[in-house]
Every structure is written in C-alpha cells, then in structure tokens.
Structure 1
Amino acid sequence: MPEMPKKTTRAMRTQRARRLFLAIASGAALYAAMPAFAGEAFPVRPITLVLPFPPGGASDTQLRALAIAAAKDLGQPIVVVNRPGNGGTIAPAAMAHSAAPDGYTIALAVRTLLRLPHLSKVNFDPLKDFTYIIGLSGFSFGVVVANDAPWKSLKELIDDARARPGAITYGASGRGSSGHIAMERLARAAGVRLNFIPYKGTAEEVKDLLGGHLAAYADPGWGSMLESGKVRVLATMGEVRLKRWPQVPTLKELGYDIVVTSPIGLIGPRGMDPSVVARLHDAFRRAMVDPAYIRTMEQNDQVQEYLGSDAYTKSAAREFAREKAVVHELGITLE
C-alpha cells in the first residue's frame, strides 16, 4: 500500500489557523446572538482576551494579573484564552478576521506581528486590520543556558559555535520572533552558525533546556530561574544592564551592536468604536498600577512602556517600517 504523503509545515499552519478562525468565529456568533440592551454602557458581558502563547510563560502570568485588575474596573470578567501559534501571530490574525469590533474580543500584540509580513506571506495587515488600544510593557530578553552548561560566558559559547558550526541549538518563541531575529543577528556579527529550533512559548523552551535537549534560548521570563540557580544568563539584550541583575552584561557591552526592544500591548479588530476603545484603555491603564500585576513585571524583569491609543497606533507604524529595514538587512525569509 503506498505511503500517504506527509503534511507540509505550511499546510499544518493553515489548518491550525482555520481551526482557530472557526473557534473565534463561533464564540463571536454566540455572543452576537445574546440580547443587546440599548443605552447600556460598555461592557455588559464578559470580555475575551486572546493570549497567543501557551500557559505558564512570562506573558501568561503578566496578562492574567492585569486582566483580573482591569475586570474589577470594567465590572465584567475578562476571560484569558491561550491560542499559541506562529510566534504569537495566528491568534490576533484570526481575531481580526472573525471577531466583531465591539470590544468583547481583544488580543495581546507582540513585535512579531509587525515583523512577520516582511518575512513571509500573511493573511493580515498589521496597520489596517487592528485597532491599537494600549501599549503595556517591554520584555527583557537574554541569552539563557542551563546552570550546568559548559559555557560561563557568551565568548565561550561563541568560541564553541565557531569550532562546531551548527552544533549548538537555541530556541525562541516562533520563527521571526524577536529572540530568533536577535540570535541570527548575533550569529552573523560573530561569524558563527547556530541551529535554531522554534517553540510555541517559553514554558516548552525551559523544559527542554533544563532537560538537556536544548543548549540555549533567547526569550524573556528567566528571572525567577536565574534567582533559583537553575539557569545562567550570558548576556541581556537591552540598552543598559538590568537593575535586578547588574552582574549580567549586555550584548552591546560585549561588542555586538544589538539592542532588542519587544513591546507588547492590547489590540482589537479594526473599526472599533472610539468610546469602547477609550473605556478599555482607561481600565487597563488603571490596572497597570495594580500591586499583583507589578509583582509579575518585577519577577520577569519587564519594564512599563505605556502608550495611549493614538501613540500606540503611531508607534506600530514606525516599528513596522523599522522591522522591514532589519529584515532586509539580514536577508532572511521564512518562505
């Protein structure tokens, strides 16, 4: 009997996107069937916040704490739904195509959303298909290895990679993610070749790293593990050293002109009512000072990077153009 052909990565990705599209569309249809009450102020029913990463990662704990605080202000529950895939882009794209622009379905937006259209064909336009509600914070990226790894410094890792081209594996949350691009820039600058393995989120990366199946990863959310001695951070990727970890040098200090800023925020489908956008913005803005939320920020070495709706929209346009320049400089695609 002939062997059945295996599904291609593109086919599986399309199938995942279609399933997600149908799931969100079904939820939107259900809510649309609920009776509307004229004159009642938004919101009058629960809000769905789509988180495009698996449970357990840095963004998961952060956004759940923020959602709890914002829900108190809004007077309605905020249901956080994890929908990982393709570096955090499949879920927002599905939301843009299927959810009503009524404010009851919103999503977390990550930098990859502005970068991926320059790397491959996508079914969304980040500047036309979304309403930018509020900018929240920025991730602190690092080059992370297990505490029992043989490399005590970034130089030792690079020297080993030079001696063994392609032998050292590293992970990041999806192809085209900020961690992936940063490590490819580092490899090019150092003249070495690393072996990239894409993951859905940091929880999976950490499991493989600590299990000895992955040499390093480049993502945020490593603070608690560094504190407990489970990992070693060879370099951070910000402009300056982190206050909590002043002993860890930056890539820039080590001679690599690489600074990674990966802001996150909340978006909805295009065409949202400005009054609904303002209500959501104000609730989440007030939630950003909630003590439980601030604790999750500190644990993950994240910094507040608040942007109002107008400023967030303009920032997205600037960063979209900047990502295009970076991608063209690297000369990489994901096709």
Structure 2
Amino acid sequence: MALIQRRRLLAWLASCSAGSAAALPVASLAQDGRFPQRTITLWVPWPAGGATDLTMRLLAELASHKLGQRVVVENRSGAGGTLVMPVLQQAAPDGYTIAQLPQPVLRAPHVQKVLWDPIRDTTPILQLTGVTFGIVVPAASELRSVEDLFAWARSRPGELTLATNGVGTTPHVVMDDLFGRRSLTYTHVPYKGTAEQMLAVSAGQVMVGVNSNGFAPYVDSGKLRLLATFGGQRTQRWPQVPTLKELGHGIVASSPYGLVGPRGLPAEVVQVLHDAFRSALNDPAHVAELAKYDQTVDYLGPDDYGRSMREAYAAEKRTVERLGLARGGSGG
C-alpha cells in the first residue's frame, strides 16, 4: 500500500515539474503567496512619451517594488484608445496581462461595431484618476475664446480645422456636441497621441487642438493658449481659464480611468494587483507626477470601479444616441 501511495506521489510531482508552476491554478498561486512569479505586462493604449504614458510608467515602476516582479509597459496606440481590448480578449486570465482602460472603450461599442464588450470582457482592478481636458490654439492665433471658434465656423463653414486624439474620444464627442447644437461644422483632424497633436497645433498645422493634460508644457511655455477646460471647476494650475460649464455649455468631462484585467481574473489575483497598484497610486512620487498634468488621485476599488464602469457604459450609450454618433457619427 505504501509503495502505491509513493508511486502516486512521484507521478504527481513529475506532472507538476513537466507543466511547471504555471500549470497550477492561478487562484492557488495567489493563495500560496506565489503570484506573481514573472513579469507583468501593462498595456497602455497611447503612444510612448505622452502624459498618460509617462504617469503609467512611473505607476508600473512603483507597483513593481510591491509585487516583487517587473511591470513592463507596452504601448498600443490608435483607434481612440480602444486597441487594448483585443489584447485583453486574447490574454489568459492569470494576472500577467493588464491594461489601462480609457473612457473611449466604454463609448466605442455604441458608435461602431466591435468584437468585444468592455464590461463582459474585463475584470476591474481599480480606478486611478481622471484627466483635465482643454481647448488650445497657437499663441499667435486670433481665436481667443470658445465663442471665437463658433464665430469662425459660422463665417467659414467647414474651414475650421480641429484636432483631437481620435474619432469617438471624449474631446471629439464634446466638440461634436458644442458645434452640433449650433448647426456648425468643422474639419476633424484625428491624431494618435497628444504629443504629436500638440506639435501640430503649436506649428499652426491645425487651428485648434482638443486633448487631455499633455498640453500643459505647451501652455506653460507660452506656445499654446488654453481657451477652456472641461472640469467641474477651474483648475488650480490655470485659474484664469474658464470651464465649459461656467461658460454656459453645461458640459463636464474628466474621463476617469483605471486598470483592468481579462475576463475571469480570479479574486485573489485581483487583490494582489489592487493592493500593489493602490500603494503605487498614492506614492508621493506618483502624486507629484500626476500634479504635473493637473491630475489628482480618484481611487475606486474593484467593486466600486466595476459599478462606475457599468454606469459610464450606459451613460455613453445615451450620449451617443443623443448626438447621433452611432455607426460612424455625424459630420464633425
């Protein structure tokens, strides 16, 4: 009997060795304190060198110290920040592939047909922060207010060139709303990243840029003029700049974002990742990095973040339907 038990034990050990520790259930690895055992890849859907990319790289570095394994950032830009979804769909739910989830991911399925669902195909880990959106023009531009944009578009239909970070992104949706209410048109120029867009605007290649916090260095250096921001109140960094809300447009947009994993990520693995990234999120070095782009910590845990994602997904559907952006959008 003892011989049979010994043979069974040896066979079990051999099967574990052949498959390595990766063959063990992910939940067991987490429970035994052995997750992670190798490098974690964090996908960022924006080009390298932009504001979000830089803050995410610091966050990944700080989280690495807590996890005891490297967190490597990979960029997959384009399609308005939605290209992380196919990556997550194809990834194993083992915690080694995670991604930043920007607001356009919650909007895109209502605008065009996609093969993924942002709620069904993700596991929320935590919400991190939101962004400050704004409208900028070259420093030498004659356009000095949001009303000036409307006046130009009214006098020269379709001639106003306006850049955003992609079709269906928050800047694009907001500008479509503003111009559509007034039956005005503009020429939309989408860019893959903030840095590329800001260079184009500051060089006068396009007349107006609408994007997130990456415009900060250009505004602070005097290369660009900030006409308005999209937050609920004026920013501490540019207190002289009005918000769209106070200008009477009734729009507040901050596009909060966070980290998610693939569908089916075990709760134990979520907890390990959550704890490490929450610690990194609140690290003074990361808080200071966010402040460079007028961002603050806007933390939500897995359950609350999941609830917020579902609410935002439903709200985006209503917005898309109201603006008539479904299946390709309107003329903006």
TM-score in same-fold range (> 0.5): yes
- Rounded to whole Å, the distance in 1 between the matches of 2:33 and 2:262 is 22
Matched, 1:226 2:226: no
Match of 1:176 in 2: 168
- Rounded to whole Å, the distance in 2 between the matches of 1:134 and 1:264 is 9
The counterpart of 1:127, out of the listed 116, 119, 123, is 119
- SS in structure 1 at match of 2:246: coil
Match of 1:108 in 2: 100
Which of 1 and 2 has greater Rg?
2
The counterpart of 1:188, out of the listed 158, 168, 180, is 180
- Rounded to whole Å, the distance in 2 between the matches of 1:287 and 1:251 is 32
Q: For the aligned residues, what is the CA RMSD?
A: 1.5
Partner amino acid for 2:123? Answer: T
Match of 2:309 in 1: 316
Residue pair 1:52, 1:82 contacting (<8 A) in 2 also: yes
The counterpart of 1:270, out of the listed 260, 263, 269, is 263
Higher mean displacement: 312-321 or 194-203: 194-203
- Rounded to whole Å, the distance in 1 between the matches of 2:284 and 2:156 is 47
Higher mean displacement: 292-301 or 58-67: 292-301
Residue pair 1:173, 1:201 contacting (<8 A) in 2 also: yes
Match of 1:154 in 2: 146
Q: CA deviation at 1:291?
A: 2.5
Residue pair 1:49, 1:80 contacting (<8 A) in 2 also: yes
- Rounded to whole Å, the distance in 2 between the matches of 1:123 and 1:188 is 29
Structure 1's 49 and 111: CA in aligned 2 closer, same or farther, altered over 3 A? same
Q: CA deviation at 1:334?
A: 4.1
- Rounded to whole Å, the distance in 2 between the matches of 1:254 and 1:188 is 17
Residue pair 2:287, 2:297 contacting (<8 A) in 1 also: no
Match of 1:62 in 2: 55
- SS in structure 2 at match of 1:72: helix
Residue pair 1:189, 1:256 contacting (<8 A) in 2 also: no
- Rounded to whole Å, the distance in 2 between the matches of 1:181 and 1:284 is 30
- Rounded to whole Å, the distance in 2 between the matches of 1:332 and 1:289 is 37
Residues 203-242 of structure 1 aligned to structure 2 (within 5 Å): 203-221=195-213, 222-242=215-235
Match of 1:296 in 2: 289
Match of 2:13 in 1: none
- Rounded to whole Å, the distance in 1 between the matches of 2:98 and 2:258 is 10
Residue pair 1:95, 1:106 contacting (<8 A) in 2 also: no
Aligned residue pairs total 302
- SS in structure 2 at match of 1:262: coil
Matched, 1:140 2:132: yes
Q: CA deviation at 1:261?
A: 2.3
Unaligned runs of 5+ in 2: 1-18
Match of 2:156 in 1: 164
1:135-168 deviation line (CA, Å, top 9, x unaligned): 0000100011111112122222221111111111
- SS in structure 2 at match of 1:118: helix
Higher mean displacement: 116-125 or 289-298: 289-298
Q: CA deviation at 1:35?
A: 5.2
- SS in structure 1 at match of 2:245: coil
- SS in structure 1 at match of 2:54: helix
- SS in structure 2 at match of 1:42: coil
Partner amino acid for 1:275? Answer: E
Q: CA deviation at 1:42?
A: 0.7
Structure 1's 34 and 333: CA in aligned 2 closer, same or farther, altered over 3 A? farther
Scaled by the length of structure 1, the TM-score of the pair is 0.87
Matched, 1:254 2:247: yes
- Rounded to whole Å, the distance in 2 between the matches of 1:162 and 1:302 is 34
Residue pair 2:198, 2:218 contacting (<8 A) in 1 also: no
Unaligned runs of 5+ in 1: 1-32
Match of 1:44 in 2: 37
Partner amino acid for 1:153? Answer: S
Q: CA deviation at 1:51?
A: 0.5
Q: CA deviation at 1:96?
A: 2.3
Residue pair 1:186, 1:258 contacting (<8 A) in 2 also: no
1:63-94 deviation line (CA, Å, top 9, x unaligned): 01111111111111110001112111122x12
- Rounded to whole Å, the distance in 1 between the matches of 2:58 and 2:284 is 9
- SS in structure 2 at match of 1:223: helix
1:163-207 deviation line (CA, Å, top 9, x unaligned): 111111111111110111011111123442121111111111012
The counterpart of 1:305, out of the listed 289, 298, 308, is 298
- SS in structure 1 at match of 2:123: strand
Scaled by the length of structure 2, the TM-score of the pair is 0.88
Q: CA deviation at 1:40?
A: 5.3
